[in-house]
Chain A
Amino acid sequence: MRFVKLEKKYDVVIVGAGPAGLAAAIEIAKEKINVLVLDRKQEIGCPKRCAEGLGLGWFNRLNLKPKKDWCVQTIHGAALYAPNGKGFQMKRTETMGYVLERKIFEKELAREAVNAGAKILLKHQVVGAIRNKNEVVLKVEADDETREVRTPLVIACDGVDSLTAKMLGLNTKLDLRETDSGYQYEMTGISGYDEHLLHLYFGTDVAPRGYIWIFPKRNHTANVGIGIGAYEEKTAKYYLDKWIAQQEGLKNGSIIEVNAGAIPVGGFLDKMQAANLIVAGDAGHMVDPIHGGGIGIALEGGRLAAKHAIKAIQSKKYSEKDLEPYTQDWYDTRGNELMKRLKGRHLLEQLSDGDFNYLAGSITMEEALKIGNGALTKKDKLLLFSKKLVTRPGLVKIFMKYMKDEVQKEGGVKL
């Protein structure tokens, strides 16, 4: 006996009760639209595939109020460590972000969605999807039974392993070269790091084509994880275990959670819609292309998906062309800006350990952030080249390549 029953028809079915799916459900339910959220798992917000950091910029942008229940640590900056152990850090007195407890945060989103009128069903897995006239018939497996649910619009927020969109003909496959392999422990009983900074460790022996992170929670607890290129011969687990064993403050800690997952860092899908379908969150590769963070982007993407879903339902138009403004809107409002950061990651990946060591001793955190954001001004570039990079020809070459597109746009100015 179930209190919330699977009905035969809904206005919208959202597949996946993560940040994107729940954010979409909240907005859609507010419009008194009959919306169902399905998730194959047994608990919302768990197991996380995430380091749980969220910058203050996202809170402001999304009009999200930080709450003590799920903002378990205040972050005042970041520390980056080069392979030789030298680091540079930026720490401000004001709060710059939080580390969340996602299982509490996402359950709050779920409550908000249900209060607005959405229905949620867990342990319900979509195992098939076909189009029939102007709607989709989903095959949903639960309790040893497979039942059919009809809806004119599916929002696929089912993560990196999304199959729903693929079943409806939208290829969301990950390119291995642009996908990171992620592995993480939530550890407790650890010490030796500033609990109010995010710590990032670089180096080909540490994390080839990626980095190791410590995202602190309170009381000597932190998410300690790694992201590396998928093509590395050894596993993410191998590199993380090796590194932790060498860290005085960490090696005697206890692991209270093990997390893993693929990180779609290659930039967003070109097309996030098909007939009767829109995609948001990790399923649409909505992840920051430089650091792999995705909570804020998923929330924003989910809300944008909701905006276009509401329009589609009100006008009863669900063709691929009718839904195209969603993809367009995503690129205009956020996508294009974030795609600039993809270049930042490609640059990072080309740096040798020696380059990293040199940069850690010569550039400032502000410059590093600007490079990452693709936001260097002409003056910044001149300064960088003439004062700082000039002694390392290898670095000049890498940076020239990085800036080539922009230089061409600026009318062929040679730096």
Chain B
Amino acid sequence: MTAKNNGSKCLYCGACVGVCPVQAIILKDTRIIIDKKKCINCGACVNICPVGAMKIEK
């Protein structure tokens, strides 16, 4: 399980980066990079995302 970003919804606002407790998310240009090894599937990024672009996926 890991967080996943939907590029067609994402506005690259960085909200998910700010709430990630383990710094698994990095925003670079218009890319959200999620470090699967660091991700703890807590769902904080899903909660904060204003547009529903984050999901926890198997």
Contacts and interface: CB of A to CB of B under 8 A. Distances in A.
Interface of A: 40, 47, 49, 125, 159-163, 166, 173-174, 176, 179, 181-183, 230-231, 235-238, 258-262, 264
A161 B15 contact: yes
A235 B51 contact: yes
Interface string B38-54: 00000010011111100
Given A40-B27, A182-B15, A260-B11, 9 more contacts: A40-B28, A159-B18, A160-B17, A161-B17, A163-B26, A173-B18, A173-B19, A182-B50, A261-B15
Contacts of A183: 50-51
Contacts of B7: none
Contacts of A49: 13-14
Nearest to B27: A161
Interface residues of B, number: 21
Given A166-B23, A259-B11, A260-B13, A235 B50 contact: yes
A260 B48 CA distance: 11
Nearest to A236: B50
A237 B51 contact: yes
A337 B47 CA distance: 30
Contacts of A161: 14-15, 17-18, 27
A181 B15 contact: yes
Contacts, number: 80
Interface of B: 11, 13-15, 17-21, 23, 26-29, 44, 47-52
B50 A260 contact: yes
Contacts of B51: 183, 235-237, 260
B11 A258 contact: yes
The 9 closest A-B pairs by CB, nearest first: A161-B14, A262-B15, A161-B17, A183-B50, A260-B13, A236-B50, A160-B18, A260-B50, A261-B13
Contact of B48 (A159, A163, A230): A230
12 contacts: A40-B29, A160-B18, A166-B23, A174-B18, A174-B48, A181-B15, A181-B50, A235-B49, A236-B51, A238-B52, A259-B11, A264-B18
A231 B18 contact: no
B23 A230 contact: no
A176 B26 contact: no
A261 B26 CA distance: 15
Nearest to A159: B14
Contacts of A159: 14, 18
Contacts of A238: 52
B11 A262 contact: no
Contact of A181 (B23, B26, B27, B48): B48
Contact of B14 (A231, A237, A261): A261
Contacts of B13: 47, 49, 259-262
